[in-house]
Structure 1
Amino acid sequence: MPGRHPHRVVVLALDGAIPFELGIPQRIFGCARGPAGEPLYTIATCSVRPPGPVRTDADFSILVENGPEALATADTVVVPASYELGPVYDEGVITDELAAALSHVRPGTRLVSICTGSFVLAAAGYLDGRPATTHWSSAAHFARLFPRVDVDADVLFIDDGDVLTSAGVAAGIDLCLHIVRRDHGTAVANDVARRTVVPPHRDGGQAQYIQRPVPEPQLAGTARARAWALTRLHEPIQLRDMAERESMSVRTFTRRFREEAGISPGQWLVLQRIERARQLLESTDLSVDQVARDAGFGTAQSMRQHLQSALGVPPTVYRRTFRAGAGTGTGTGTGTGTGTGTGTGPDRGERARITSGR
């Protein structure tokens, strides 16, 4: 993956593009910097035709300066959503123009979709036999059009090695941050999150659709309990302790927490402890035993099991990946985009482990 030279990301702008989603890769990858402030990615935008205007779903067009040949230069290709996918969205059939453009993509290139950009990857055959997600409102239609794809509508994004798909709009930010974290570690991803003023990490398995992300005015929320728990991850935290912070019964607190966060309090605590362990492994020389204690896992064995389950690697391998390379991770997918991806970095294969319960 990223090595001595910046990793090249090429974004495919289709007619009917949503400007917000089209700009996500430039904003997230463009903010990623190495130890000396050097850019870790270069980003280019291309269209399926020679350079020229591309319509958006807004009241303006954009001038794209690269034709489809730019796809041949990409290490990662990103396909954002479009409201003008035509036969791709209606019938699951790729157009000749789009097929010709995608023919420039080199084998082994990492493929990423945002929202209904997944329809393009599926119509081109890149998702056959793979897990994938898309915007929840289009998921049933997607599943009917592409029965060979393992569709999961209850997650923010899915990392299947060299092919990654996300749900709509802000989930594209989550996926791009996840890619930065996979490539270069938590410290770089957190710096990008700070620069762009977004949450540094939402787990890919978090539900797309949360019943009540903001409490109704007359109802108490659970934000104070979460803030309280984050300062005490190194301590044992009981569910009743969190409920007491909000003056709720355990049952009410658990229900309200799931409505707001999309996952249970226990699942949320594990995710926060995994994130804390990642930060300590990357940024300190603490022993694995000490990291386990500081992150609240208690024992190295417990932490090892959780990291192995969540990231696919044990703590020592994770630390070696992101410390020895001075911030240049080795998380790469080496598949051909035909269902044979063999990504090797931490987080490879992240997908749904938490459902929304809706």
Structure 2
Amino acid sequence: MAMRPVFSHPARHHVAVLARQMTLPIELGIVHQVFGQARAGASADGKPLYEVVTCALRAGAVRTDGDFTVNVAHGPEALAEADTVIVLSSYDDYEQQDPTLSAPLAGAFARIRPGARVASICTGAFVLASTGLLDGRLATTHWRFADRFARLFPQVELDANVLYADGGDVLTSAGCAAGIDLCLHMIRRDFGMAVANDVARRTVVPPHREGGQAQYVRHPVPEPSSPSTAAAREWALRRLGEPVTLAQMAAKEAMSVRTFTRRFRDEVGTTPMTWLTQQRVERARELLEESDLPVDQVAEQAGLGTAANLRKHFHAAVGTSPGAYRAAFRELDAAV
């Protein structure tokens, strides 16, 4: 008798979440919540764009790091049907000392079809590295376990200072909260800015944090008596299409440029002008998705000046040209 398909909606993007013993339930919830909110047309009544199932190395009870278990209906067979496989972390990763892949995990990964996208949250990167998928690639994991990761997997180009690393078909993220950023990033790649922003609004999280943003920011929430750069950021976001200088932003907070730059880096994890360029690229993405403006006008309205400057920054951030991005998004939009 033929095995019943794990996924029930063939037209949707299939996501299989691999939960191992001593999993962190918050990570499982993140994946289901974020991908489960994605709707065609970025509206509540649009059709779901993803179908997400949880699987384990063996169907049944999976222990968590809390005082309860999760009953997982699917075994590793679900991996064979997935377009995207996401490997969650496990409490056991924290003590891992062996760089080789266990036989059950090796068997599970052998089921993943060629061309499927594979991602990890937190120390799930240890599993990906053990398979060899990260050899020679840029990757990240939780900063607390970065030294052990580097010792076990010297062949991986580890960057423990970023939220997530996008290697195309293999992606890794830092701690569990960075899993939200990674999932939104994948939705943005799959279905565009409008869908990802809608998911972020429903989930009540920031719509976009760059993967290169620092994992550990010294003062993410200023103390009530401490000066903040939030007003300057809001002011700059309302003027992306206008010239904005570092001195102007500092003046909005009544700080010297030096003090403002230091405080901005402490709060945001990057420099003011790098952040401003990131916001302008995001604005350009929105305009490319939502309008028919020529590329030179997109560059002007996004504050990047010329089409050449837009192409330079867009390619660095997105990995493609503005024209190719618009064409790919239009094809995708028509398909869904």
Task: Calculate the TM-score normalised by the size of structure 1.
Answer: 0.88
Paired residue secondary structure (2:301)? helix
Note the C-alpha offset of 1:205. Answer: 0.7
Kept in 2: contact 1:16–1:56 (CA 8 A): yes
The root-mean-square deviation of aligned C-alpha atoms, in Å, is 1.6
From 37, 46, 57, the equivalent of 2:65 is 57
Note the C-alpha offset of 1:304. Answer: 1.4
Q: Matched residues, percent identical? A: 59
Distance 1:211 1:54 in 2: 36
From 247, 262, 270, the equivalent of 2:269 is 262
Paired residue secondary structure (2:47)? coil
Note the C-alpha offset of 1:119. Answer: 0.5
Summarize the alignment of residues 148-297 of structure 1 with structure 2, pairs less than 5 Å apart. Answer: 148-297=155-304
Distance 1:325 1:46 in 2: 28
Note the C-alpha offset of 1:202. Answer: 0.4
Note the C-alpha offset of 1:326. Answer: 1.5
Are 1:110 and 2:117 counterparts? yes
The structure richer in helix per residue is 2
From 308, 319, 322, the equivalent of 2:326 is 319
From 69, 81, 95, the equivalent of 2:77 is 69
Paired residue secondary structure (2:123)? helix
More relative contact order, 1 or 2 (CA 8 Å, 6+ apart): 1
Kept in 2: contact 1:214–1:260 (CA 8 A): yes
Distance 1:184 1:123 in 2: 31
Are 1:41 and 2:54 counterparts? no
String of CA shifts for 1:196-235, please: whole Å, max 9, x gaps: 1111100011111111111233320100000111001111
Are 1:28 and 2:37 counterparts? no
Distance 2:320 2:155 in 1: 29
Kept in 2: contact 1:258–1:264 (CA 8 A): yes
Task: Calculate the TM-score normalised by the size of structure 2.
Answer: 0.93
- AA in 2 matched with 1:217: P
Note the C-alpha offset of 1:86. Answer: 7.9
String of CA shifts for 1:16-37, please: whole Å, max 9, x gaps: 1101112211111111111371
2:7 aligned partner? none
Kept in 2: contact 1:184–1:327 (CA 8 A): no
Number of matched residues? 325
Note the C-alpha offset of 1:327. Answer: 6.1
Distance 2:289 2:309 in 1: 19
- AA in 1 matched with 2:51: T
